[in-house]
Structure 1
Amino acid sequence: MAIRLRPAQALRLWQQVVLSEVRADAPDLTMRQAAILLTIYLEPPPHTVRALAERLGVSKPVITRALDTMGALKLVSRHRDEADRRNVLIRRTVEGALYVERFGDVIIARALELPL
């Protein structure tokens, strides 16, 4: 089933999702942090700083700063790769999985409210 939205409907949906997040007092992630988080949760692991930087087209320090914030929120965790100590593996957390699942639920709920 394909969902077709006009640009104004898509923008209204995004606005309603963002408003829901603000009202729910959810973690205030930047667009970049949200993109990184969704990449970690929607694409199969393993995830490394280097691979995320390449995937998103940003520098490793950008990824590291975002992971610092998301780590403090317990949305992800970082661990040294025992097979290659130069790599840092980014892992999903229970808190992060619950956040992403709830976020998906908010998107669905707001989409169902859109006028046809």
Structure 2
Amino acid sequence: MPIDMTPSQALGLWHAVTLELVRQDRRDLTLRQLSILLEIYLVPPPHTVRGLAATLGVTKPVITRALDTMGEQGLVSRVRDERDRRNVVIRRTVEGALFLERLSDLVIASGRSLAPWKTP
């Protein structure tokens, strides 16, 4: 069901979610890192550095730096592609899935608390 929001309401929702994320989670992901993480978890695999760079319109080093940070935080892992050793395959982790589950809970809760369209 589509939700009708004004630009101000949409930004208010984004503000509420990001504010709560900062309060609850000390990872402090950049917008780019969060975009990469969502791409990895919401779009079916496989994911490669080359593919993510093309999808996001950035260079491979940009993706690599973001993956370094997210890997240190346990949100993703990387392995060499056994079929083509030149490729690095990005894998989901349990910690990454749990992080995004908490994020989706924040989005839902924030949407409910801010929504003038909510129904009982």
Deviation of residue 115 (structure 1)? 4.2
State the Cα RMSD in Å: 0.7
Aligned-partner Cα distance in 1 for 2:66–2:25 = 19
Within 5 Å, which residues of 2 pair with 1:6-21?
6-21=6-21
Q: Percent identity?
A: 65
Runs of 4+, deviation exceeding 6 Å: none
Q: Which has the higher mean CA deviation after the structures are superposed, 81-90 or 20-29?
A: 20-29
Which residue does the alignment assign to 2:54? 54
Which residue does the alignment assign to 1:77? 77
Instruction: Please list every run of 5 or more consecutive structure 2 residues that lacks an aligned counterpart in the other structure.
Output: none
Q: Number of aligned pairs? A: 116
Deviation of residue 65 (structure 1)? 0.1
Deviation of residue 99 (structure 1)? 0.4
TM-score by length of 2: 0.94
Aligned-partner Cα distance in 2 for 1:12–1:85 = 45
Deviation of residue 87 (structure 1)? 0.2
Instruction: Please list every run of 5 or more consecutive structure 1 residues that lacks an aligned counterpart in the other structure.
Output: none
Deviation of residue 22 (structure 1)? 1.2
